[in-house]
Chains A and B, each alone.
Chain A
């Protein structure tokens, strides 16, 4: 499906997120609700955000790889004000979390948390990936799993 989307449409869909050629496949993955993180096919190391070579071994053999989306909240803030975005209302402080993904120590992905009241969201909570539609743009989010880390 995503191959049917032209570069022009892909760029216009994700221009506000700073899409470039090195991150294009990651954003194509979003259209299919797949969270693609660059992984080196030689040394197996993931890196984030997408870079043109493996920062660990300098291999150019980089494969955008779907991750499970399971992880632990490492960093957490609540925006009481912020940039205008469709469907985002800061009257209830808006959570933003950097989630340490289970695939690799220190590999994080940043998104909002949905489905739980703010007082239940905390650093150390386990989460899993989900997707929402934000003004026609597929957007990755996390939900608490209720498991302790």
Chain B
């Protein structure tokens, strides 16, 4: 494959706003649609938009665009989609639809939800049991789905002979950042001892290596850059976006830690975007599992293979107990999936937009202009997004 720099959509589409319900690590007495309705009406009000201003709707497969439309009374739309997560899928689809002229202004939403298959307490809620089938199927002899990350975490430790503490730094950093984020589900700081003593789930990964199942919703407005300029907040421009995947994308057939979706994303996003890791003011690597963050740091080029832990140590802000690249670039300042909550990337995106709009409150990076968001994992779901403001 040749990596193409062709990118006619560059800067033509923008985020006008982003809003959230905040996230809870306990079962709320609310449906996914109720959470979506709150986030969607909030973002529409904040952007000064009416239901009739929306002509496109895009969200996850778990809450249909049709239900969001009939709940919000959005009179007519000309485009909608419910692709799988992580959330850069939704962004790529919505931005492409706007750029292609199928619609002008898209309401984009996500609803991370404590489905019955996630936790024992969610399984006890009868309303959650009827909402989603119980996955898993009673087969332990598989590397399918989330188990695959544990498998490659084990391989990572074997190949690079690194200590578990390297994974722990990701978890600790997220928690330290979440302290400053009122939307986050988990805000109590943790220590390395807490990490090393956490309950083992699938060796070598423990509870604190895995994102937190949460209830909540994020919502966004995607429209033409031209239209976004007329709305209240600074437009956040989509400079480049890609979804990366390789042929050997089944978890146990993945070729190696040196050849998977991340590498496709890094190469293509760098080719299509106007800026890269040395130019950004804040960075959002996915952290659904700690191993994914270590890999992203290596695969976008912050450090060499197996060196992410050492990179975290040498870029550690000891006073705040969190990573700060070169003493100035925060990493997942909202607390990421490990502490704000397992948002499959929507939380990372919302924080990215708020940072570039100057709306990130006490977490605000001074004069933040550019960011990279590298979402998803190794197999079916690596994704990248380059965002900036004018």
Contacts and interface: CB of A to CB of B under 8 A. Distances in A.
Interface residues of A, number: 33
B255 A77 contact: no
A80 B202 CA distance: 6
A139 B202 contact: no
A12 to B, nearest CB: 13
Contact of A17 (B139, B155, B253, B255): B139
Contacts of B253: 48-49, 106-108
B201 interface: yes
Interface in A79-106: 79-85, 88, 93-94, 96, 98, 106
B247 A79 contact: no
B250 to A, nearest CB: 6
B140 A94 contact: yes
Contacts of B248: 106
B20 interface: no
A45 interface: no
A124 B203 CA distance: 17
A123 interface: yes
B53 to A, nearest CB: 44
Contacts of B141: 96, 110-112, 139
B220 interface: no
B140 A112 contact: yes
Interface in B140-154: 140-143, 147, 150-152, 154
14 contacts: A16-B139, A49-B250, A75-B152, A76-B151, A77-B143, A77-B204, A80-B200, A81-B201, A85-B139, A94-B140, A96-B143, A98-B151, A107-B253, A110-B143
Given A18-B137, A75-B154, 15 more contacts: A17-B139, A75-B143, A75-B151, A75-B152, A75-B155, A77-B147, A77-B202, A77-B204, A81-B201, A83-B136, A83-B138, A93-B200, A96-B142, A106-B255, A112-B140
